[in-house]
Amino acid sequence: MEQNKATGHLSALLTILIWGTTFISTKVLLVDFQPVEILFFRFVMGLLALLVVYPHRMKGTTGKQELTFVFAGLCGVCLYYLLENIALTYTMASNVGVIISVAPFFTAILSHLFLKKDEKLRVNFFIGFVVAMAGIALISFNGTRLQLSPAGDLLALLAAFLWTCYSILTRKISSFGFNTILTTRRVFFYGILFMVPALFLFDFKLGLSRFANMAYLLNILFLGLGASALCFVTWNFAVKLLGAVKTSIYIYLVPVITVAASVLILREPFTWLTGMGTILTLAGLLLSESKLFRSGEARTSK
């Protein structure tokens, strides 16, 4: 059991380490690609990679299970990323970063409501949440003035809620007993299917000749093979071992890793506000993790 938990924590940490650096690749690609184009290419590539790695069919799914895959693809692959990208056009990136980090709180509430026998919360989770959010706010705003933008902020909040729904659905999917690569592949398929209508709304262009640029090719490979194919498998695997709430807490680390990547790779300055925010965020993560569950309460649902 302890070994499984350690594996789950390592899987979640690996996922967040990669997700926290995806902004660099996205920034490079946004010069010549629209957000919806990046999204479509990375998940198609992710789906194809998972087909190559594990070329087996998923057999014996029920209608109810298939519906769970459908909603997971809609929430976690299609709507979450589309709404996050649209939100960025209406509000500041710092606002989106803070609001998206609310996802663990939503996950805790929904898990308590719908997975009562599966995940029980303690008060330290909420204390850790407040501390982590204070740290994330310091990192994101870093001395700049808070500017509210109702449309963009609400879209970001809805995106955070949709990621929560995805986490709950993933926890349910883990109880089906299928291979994690197979379930992730099925979720990708439905997510891409729902994404197709959006391609026409956002003036999607195939333009594969753009990948003749080696920088674009390498960055889309990182997003498709690393941030999509690998990370969704490792994230779903972590949810299977740890539960939706414990895994979602790692989302607090995304701004910290983003800051570290900005300093190390982009040579951006590291301010005292960023340092304080990092300390508070890590403290919040530790508070939320410590004795979050009573013994025996993090069992896989059947």
Largest CA distance in the chain: 55
Does 268 fall in a domain?
yes
* The pLDDT of residue 18 is above 90: yes
* The pLDDT of residue 73 is above 80: yes
* The pLDDT of residue 213 is above 80: yes
Domain count, the chain: 1
Does 296 fall in a domain?
no
* The pLDDT of residue 298 is above 70: no
Does 298 fall in a domain?
no
Range of lowest pLDDT (39-48, 90-99, 173-182): 90-99
Does 297 fall in a domain?
no
Does 294 fall in a domain?
no
- Residue 290 burial (10 A CB sphere; 0-12, 13-18, 19+): exposed
What size, in residues, is the chain?
302
Mean of the pLDDT values across residues 95-116?
79
User: For residue 37, what are its two tokens?
Assistant: 């184009």
Does 134 fall in a domain?
yes
Does 299 fall in a domain?
no
Q: Which DSSP helix (H) or strand (E) runs through 188? A: helix 180-201
Domain that holds residue 198: 2-289
* The pLDDT of residue 30 is above 50: yes
User: For residue 88, what are its two tokens?
Assistant: 């960025």
Q: What is the mean pLDDT of the chain?
A: 84
Check if the beta carbon of residue 176 is closer than 8 Å to that of residue 124. no
Does 301 fall in a domain?
no
Mean of the pLDDT values across residues 270-293?
76
* The pLDDT of residue 235 is above 90: yes
Mean of the pLDDT values across residues 243-268?
82
pLDDT of residue 148: 63
